[in-house]
Amino acid sequence: MIGAFLCLYVTIQSIGQQKTNEPAIIYGSCTIEQLKADPYGSWFTPAFDQYTPDTETVNQLKKEMKDKWSIRIFFGSWCGDSKRELPRFIKLLTAISFPMERVTIIGVGTGDSLYKQSPGHEEAGQGVFRVPVFIVNNNGKEINRINEYPVHSLEKDLLGIFSKQPYSPNYRSFGLVQQWLSEGSLLHKNTSIRGLAEQVRYLVSNEHELNSLGYLLIKQAKKEEALQLFRINYYLYPESSNTASSLGEGYLLTGDKKQAVGYLEHSISLNKDPNALQEILSLLYKAKELK
Lowest mean pLDDT among 17-26, 77-86, 148-157, 234-243: 17-26
Q: In the predicted model, what is the mean pLDDT of the chain? A: 86
Lowest mean pLDDT among 14-18, 232-236, 243-247: 14-18
Q: Does domain 173-289 have CATH number 3.40.50.10860?
A: no
Residue 127 confidence (pLDDT): 64
Domain boundaries, the chain: 28-162, 173-289
Read off the pLDDT of residues 221-234 as tens digits, 9 standing for 90 and up.
889 999 999 999 99
What average pLDDT does this structure show over 33-57?
96
DSSP string, the chain: ------S------S----SSSSPPPP-EEE-HHHHHSTTTHHHHHHHHHH----HHHHHHHHHTTTS-EEEEEEE-TT-HHHHHHHHHHHHHHHHTT--GGGEEEEE---S--SS---TT-TTTTS---SSSEEEEEETTEEEEEEESS-SS-HHHHHHHHHTT-----S-THHHHHHHHHHHTTTT-TT--HHHHHHHHTTT--SHHHHHHHHHHHHHTT-HHHHHHHHHHHHHH-TT-HHHHHHHHHHHHHTT-HHHHHHHHHHHHHH---HHHHHHHHHHHHHHHHT-
What average pLDDT does this structure show over 139-152?
91
Handedness of CA 149, 153, 155, 159 (dihedral sign): negative
Read off the pLDDT of residues 178-187 as tens digits, 9 standing for 90 and up.
889 889 999 9
How does residue 95 score in pLDDT terms, banded at 50, 70 and 90?
very high
pLDDT at position 193 over 70: yes
Confirm whether 28-162 and 173-289 share one CATH topology: no
CA distance 118 to 128: 10
Residue 8 confidence (pLDDT): 39
CA distance 189 to 39: 52
113 or 56: which carries more pLDDT confidence? 56
Q: Does domain 28-162 have CATH number 2.40.37.20?
A: no
How does residue 125 score in pLDDT terms, banded at 50, 70 and 90?
low
pLDDT at position 84 over 60: yes
Global confidence as pTM: 0.69
Of the chain, the end-to-end C-alpha distance in Å amounts to 21
pLDDT at position 19 over 60: no
pLDDT at position 248 over 60: yes
Residue 164 confidence (pLDDT): 85
pLDDT at position 83 over 50: yes
How does residue 18 score in pLDDT terms, banded at 50, 70 and 90?
very low
What average pLDDT does this structure show over 141-152?
91
Residues 6 or more apart in contact with residue 120 via CB below 8 angstroms: 28, 29, 106
To the nearest whole percent, how much of the chain has pLDDT over 90?
Answer: 60
CA distance 33 to 31: 5
211 touches 233 (CB < 8 A): yes
